Structure 1
Amino acid sequence: MRDNIRIVLVGDGAFGKSTLVTALIKEVFVVNVQDVVPEVTIPPEVTPENVTTHIIDTPSRGDEQDALETELRKANVVCIVYAVDERESFRRTHEHWLPFLRRQGLSLPVILVGNKVDMRDEDAGPATVLEDEVVPIMNEYREIEICVECSAKALLNVSELFYFAQKAVLHPTRPLYDARDHVMKPECASALTRIFRLCDADGDGVLNDAELNAFQRSCFNTPLQQRELEGVKELVQASRPDGITAGGLNVDGYLYLHLLFIQRGRVETTWMVLRRFGYGDDLSLRDDFLRPECDVPPDCCVELSPGGYAFLTEIFKRYDADRDSALCAAELDNIFSLSPGVPWKHGRFPESTVTNAAGCVTLEGWLAQWSMSTLLDHRLTLEYLAYFGFPGDTRDGICMVARHAGAGGLRRRRKGKQQRSVFLCYVVGAAGAGKSSLIRAFAKKPFASEYTPTARTTATVNSVDVKGAEKYLVMQEFGPYDTSVLQSRRQLEHCDLLVMVYDSSDPASFAYLANLRSNYSLDALPMIFVATKSDLDAVAQRSDPPPDIYCRELKLAAPLYVSPKDAQLASVFQHMAAITRNPASATPALLLARPHPWSTAKIIGVTALAGVGLASTFVAYHTLRYWWTSVIGARSSHSVVPKRHEL
């Protein structure tokens, strides 16, 4: 909400603009005032809305047109002052001043101010003036918020005039209410309906007493007494019987209450509700509400906090209408109707996560999908937490964790075990190597016998149990774009595990991986080699050295042979999770940098021990020589083993 307001008064001369400003300040009627009162600033602590208010009087002479236009461009609200006892002044409001404001290209709320009400002809009642003359003008000029009749001389409605001017800026009626048809505007009804759904905690389409009280506390920081609750329901029952059910207030009754607030001049009540739920003056969700500032240090990544997991679990249970512990397409549509739609339209959702046999998203899959989303794009998660009605600051739904233990280069992978819960795995390999089949098996999807090349980057997620702790692995496949990803230092920095996949039945498949490693700086990444299609006859790979020796030279575990087709997976995903937990165990650059077990110090120690006694060394040598030659001789010539005294 804004913290200052500029109120500009315009109108013809001698109708009381300057007198109204002076009467507000001095709280007495001043007979002789200057033509134009200097700008008045009212501090926030003395205004009902707690905002700094600037009141600007303007000249009436035509030769000061430039000064008037300058002030109008800085204004937040315009008050057109006329005299109720001067018919010509009223005619000038709609024949001159309102068209003049429109010609300036301004979109400002306007208040019609009828001054000198104390001098009105008693024979023409105020109701006649308002109904017959003011209302038609308000219908023609939608920018008019309200018409206020006042008297600077009698100090009647003077402070109210400026209060209404403040309200016209802070709580405008025009976005909410169609004064011509006396109905709530569709955009307002849509926003309030969404708020109703967010407050309907049990999803039964009715706000019961507990939910109404929770709504009241959330928006106004105070509960409703039982007597007040009953009064609200009786009010709706009297005028809108279909807005009340045995369980409480339904959406029609809820909208009717807000219509009453607006029509009775309590529009600020509706605005307090809208702003509490993130709506701006244009009745769209504010950008700062959807996307709050959230800077992530380079050495950190973002995960859901325990509060975020709890909230998303609650959303799952609320919208699982049939209570089958899975979200079908209709239930997912119901959830995402609170937002612009499913945010993963291009991510193969729900194929990207765990579903049941019917293709419905399980709670495990729902939380896994959001875990992946938060790791890859935490801003998207913040946005949807806001759409779903996360209580309080949406940033409390996420947390930042160190990307790698320690800090700086390889030391980040060298230091101990990871405390994170979500890890990013890049799955690379030649076309047709079986990457997609491996990933489908990871998400517990059936094997697809028909080969379909991966055309765009995809990501799939599932959880893996590692020594009693649940970890989420995000498997990202790039299709024909492996090389562009591996060329990016920033993208490699985000990778927690490189899954090197080759086809054990294709002799050229492993060479693709060897070329990738030789052409790009990959040794700083933890990696695991996976040989797919073990159900087929293995062939010798056209690589030197072969895969097992290649891995041994890197001090890595030998390739794991798997067959997604036969569901023979050799606990490969548990191995992956174990590596992400202790990345130093599979990072070639670290493993190759480790000293050989027979280090120089150990060799020196062995040499010293060996020199303890030359005689002992000589005897040991000849005994060993005798044993060796005896065995060799026996195996080669079947000669008799020589007797001991022949030595």
Structure 2
Amino acid sequence: MTKEQIKVVVCGDHGVGKSSLIACLVKDQFIASLQEVVPPVTIPRDFQSSPYATKTTFLVDTTNYELPALHRELKTADVIWLIYSDHESYDRISLYWMMMFRSLGVNLPVILCKNKCDKQKPFDDQKHEKPLIEDDFASENDTKIEDEEFIPILREFKEVETCIKTSAKDKVNVNQAFYLCQRAITHPIAPLFDARVGDLKLLAVLALKRIFLLSDKDQDGYLSEVELIELQSRAFGKVIETLELNFIGKTLLSLSAPNQEYEGFVLYVPGKGMTKDGFLVLNKIYSEKGRHETTWSILRAFNYTDSLSLSDKVLHPKVDIPDTASVEISPIGYRFLVELFLTFDRDNDGGLNEQELQFLFKSTPGLPSLWLETNFPFSTVISNRAHVTLQGWLAQWTMTAFLDYKITTAYLVYLGFEKDARLALQITKSRRHRRRNNKLYRAPITDRKVFSCFVFGKPKCGKSCLLESFLGRSFSENYSPTIKPKIAVNSLELKGSKQYYLILQEFGEQEPAVIENSSKMKGCDVLCLAYDSSDPESFSYLYDLVCQHKHLQDIPMVFVALKADLDKQQQRCQVQPDDFTDQLFIDHPLHVSSSWPSSLNELFVKLTEAALEPSRNTPGLAPDVVKEEVDYWQYALFGTSAIGFASLISFTLYKVIRSIQHSN
């Protein structure tokens, strides 16, 4: 069978009416004389009136006289339609059929059907228990599971999903029984409800709690009428009526009244709405009454699969990213993130504290692993109380999308982004390259707003302090060696009020390995090569680095002399910094100090501009070569104008000479 088909295997003792039910379903009439086993029947989805008809249904009739064939069919089935009709066949449900299913290792939903109800009467007239399951598509009297014969089987065998009475002769509940078989696959009860305990299962509870959190837009702990209407519209595509809202409220209030089942629980508060406990109780009632398709509609509207996990296709949609292209957040994505920040900033202090962050990520598996690895929130902008600001919040997500877009799409879904997560992203163009004088270099960038900068340099030269300064933090005299990689991300504004994001990374002990990793270096937009201007041994590290690793010279680079407020020292190196940069045809090192804010800002702007205009900062491109790019068209236009002007003069002289000749 294909995944687009539901295979229903019809089982039961000889003479219970299996073939008659199948024939009545297909022909919509009772056929008195039938062969013992009817051939398999395929019912296309388009020919089914069932509300659960999402796939083609394949019906297989069987006989217990041919056990090998029966066993083969059962092992490939999706659902079992088990039929009995009298005392003897009823007893064999427990003693034979259910035992056979278990011995074969067949763990499938079973729809138990009492057939020939046109001839049969209930086994006794004892007082019936409260209905366990109620079906919407059958009549009130025939589908309530209230017969004493059903209850022991339902309690003993968890595989039995529901029971129903039918009659092929009178055409009673034949279609309904077929619908139940389909529903057992499209809307299974087993993942939601434990009939033995009489309560929702843990995974269902966790999923419904998350849905409640996401539906509670104002985060006040209640689902108001407006929020319930939005939930109804998302799950069912229609607006819930006021009468139904009032009925739900009254039902929950009555259940929590004194001497009732949920006494002491707050399920509903008039004027505020339904609580989380009330939402869980409501869905429990749906499962108890056989209306679990309602719960499934809610779950699937929030992208839950049959295993009650979020769909991987939704969490990680396929995104086509060309080589050397990058991923950024779209305006739609930024708008969602801003609204999320404002919603969970409960004290309106302009920052998310630890408790607010914990509550914000309650609908997710927790903080992304990437954030933990990069020491969030200290990887971005925070307030003086160590709360993540809106600027830092957006910068952190920008960095996440750039470094690992799959984390971004997954967490957007976790956090309640209702559209396709790909709409929150935008893909930049691949890097283009140009060649001048046999030197291949990167072309100017026009469509990117996020750039990655790797900071290399000798230990103790001040790299970590540079990252801290980028985030607006003050200088600290305390030194601790960088072992694990560090990251800092922030936004900055260039001329023309254009905003960009810069991601600074230093790698600690992993720096040599990163330099050797060509794929890692491919993701770098600009190199920041830092040295301590007060340490005479510091620059030689960079000199050796650039000379030994020639591939670094294909990346735009900016040299920076840190600790410029201290006494400048002559570098013990074959070449002094200014001379070396002259040899590379790039700018001299910027002299920067954490006590000179303007110098820091100049450096970060310079790094961003170097990423935007790679040719001006790529080693090996002579100044006249770079200028050639700018002035080429000016020269071309000038040449074209000169030629045109000469042609005009020649033509004028020709006309004058011809007129003189004619006059003579």
Deviates more, 1:155-164 or 1:440-449: 440-449
Whether the aligned pair in 2 keeps the contact of 1:427 and 1:498 (CA below 8 Å) is yes
What is aligned with 2:407?
380
What is aligned with 2:62?
58
Given candidates 338, 350, 356, the residue that maps to 2:383 is 356
Cα displacement (A) at 1:565: 5.9
Spell out structure 1 runs of 4+ moving beyond 4 A. Answer: 125-131, 405-414, 565-568
Q: 1:487 to 1:534 in 2, by over 3 A?
A: same
Gaps of 5+ in 1: 603-647
Given candidates 277, 291, 295, the residue that maps to 2:320 is 295
Q: 1:488 to 1:512 in 2, by over 3 A?
A: same
Given candidates 264, 267, 278, the residue that maps to 1:243 is 267
CA distance in 2, matches of 1:565, 1:228: 66
Cα displacement (A) at 1:138: 1.5
Deviates more, 1:583-592 or 1:204-213: 583-592
CA distance in 1, matches of 2:23, 2:241: 44
Whether the aligned pair in 2 keeps the contact of 1:2 and 1:170 (CA below 8 Å) is no
CA distance in 1, matches of 2:623, 2:9: 76
What is aligned with 2:654?
none
Q: For residue 512 of structure 2, give the secondary structure of its aligned residue in structure 1.
A: helix
RMSD of aligned alpha carbons: 2.5
Query: Identity, % of aligned pairs?
Result: 37
Whether the aligned pair in 2 keeps the contact of 1:308 and 1:397 (CA below 8 Å) is yes
Could you tell me which amino acid in structure 1 is paired with residue 95 of structure 2? E
Structure 1, residues 18-61: CA drift from partner, whole Å, max 9, x if none? 22111111222222222221111111123222321111112211
Whether the aligned pair in 1 keeps the contact of 2:168 and 2:174 (CA below 8 Å) is yes
Q: For residue 299 of structure 2, give the secondary structure of its aligned residue in structure 1.
A: helix
What is aligned with 1:45?
46
What is aligned with 2:154?
138
Whether the aligned pair in 2 keeps the contact of 1:418 and 1:580 (CA below 8 Å) is no
Whether the aligned pair in 2 keeps the contact of 1:8 and 1:79 (CA below 8 Å) is yes
Larger Rg: 1
Whether the aligned pair in 2 keeps the contact of 1:404 and 1:418 (CA below 8 Å) is no
Q: 1:34 to 1:596 in 2, by over 3 A?
A: closer
Whether the aligned pair in 2 keeps the contact of 1:585 and 1:591 (CA below 8 Å) is no
What is aligned with 1:212?
228
Cα displacement (A) at 1:122: 5.8
Cα displacement (A) at 1:378: 0.2
CA distance in 1, matches of 2:126, 2:443: 83
What is aligned with 2:650?
none
Cα displacement (A) at 1:407: 7.9
Whether the aligned pair in 2 keeps the contact of 1:115 and 1:152 (CA below 8 Å) is yes
Q: For residue 552 of structure 2, give the secondary structure of its aligned residue in structure 1.
A: coil
Cα displacement (A) at 1:127: 7.0
CA distance in 1, matches of 2:626, 2:304: 62
What is aligned with 1:645?
none
Deviates more, 1:127-136 or 1:481-490: 127-136
Asked if 1:572 corresponds to 2:619, the answer is no
TM-score w.r.t. length of structure 1: 0.87
What is aligned with 1:469?
498
Structure 1, residues 506-553: CA drift from partner, whole Å, max 9, x if none? 222111111111122111111101111223222111222200111122
Could you tell me which amino acid in structure 2 is paired with residue 149 of structure 1? K
Q: 1:119 to 1:189 in 2, by over 3 A?
A: same
Deviates more, 1:273-282 or 1:136-145: 136-145
What is aligned with 2:529?
500
CA distance in 1, matches of 2:439, 2:62: 69
Asked if 1:266 corresponds to 2:295, the answer is no
Q: 1:445 to 1:70 in 2, by over 3 A?
A: farther
Q: 1:359 to 1:584 in 2, by over 3 A?
A: same
Could you tell me which amino acid in structure 2 is paired with residue 527 of structure 1? M
- Aligned positions of 1:364-443 closer than 5 A: 364-404=391-431, 414-443=442-471
CA distance in 1, matches of 2:3, 2:351: 44
Asked if 1:67 corresponds to 2:91, the answer is no
CA distance in 2, matches of 1:335, 1:591: 53
Q: 1:193 to 1:244 in 2, by over 3 A?
A: same
Structure 1, residues 201-258: CA drift from partner, whole Å, max 9, x if none? 1111122222222212212222234444334333333334632222222222222332
- Aligned positions of 1:236-635 closer than 5 A: 236-240=252-256, 242-245=266-269, 246-343=271-368, 344-404=371-431, 414-467=442-495, 468-520=497-549, 521-564=551-594, 569=600, 571-591=602-622, 594=625
Cα displacement (A) at 1:121: 4.0
Asked if 1:163 corresponds to 2:203, the answer is no
Whether the aligned pair in 2 keeps the contact of 1:561 and 1:570 (CA below 8 Å) is no
Q: For residue 73 of structure 2, give the secondary structure of its aligned residue in structure 1.
A: helix
Deviates more, 1:239-248 or 1:371-380: 239-248
Whether the aligned pair in 2 keeps the contact of 1:530 and 1:561 (CA below 8 Å) is yes
Whether the aligned pair in 1 keeps the contact of 2:331 and 2:424 (CA below 8 Å) is yes
Deviates more, 1:74-83 or 1:402-411: 402-411
Whether the aligned pair in 1 keeps the contact of 2:556 and 2:619 (CA below 8 Å) is yes
Deviates more, 1:431-440 or 1:115-124: 115-124
Number of aligned residue pairs: give it.
595
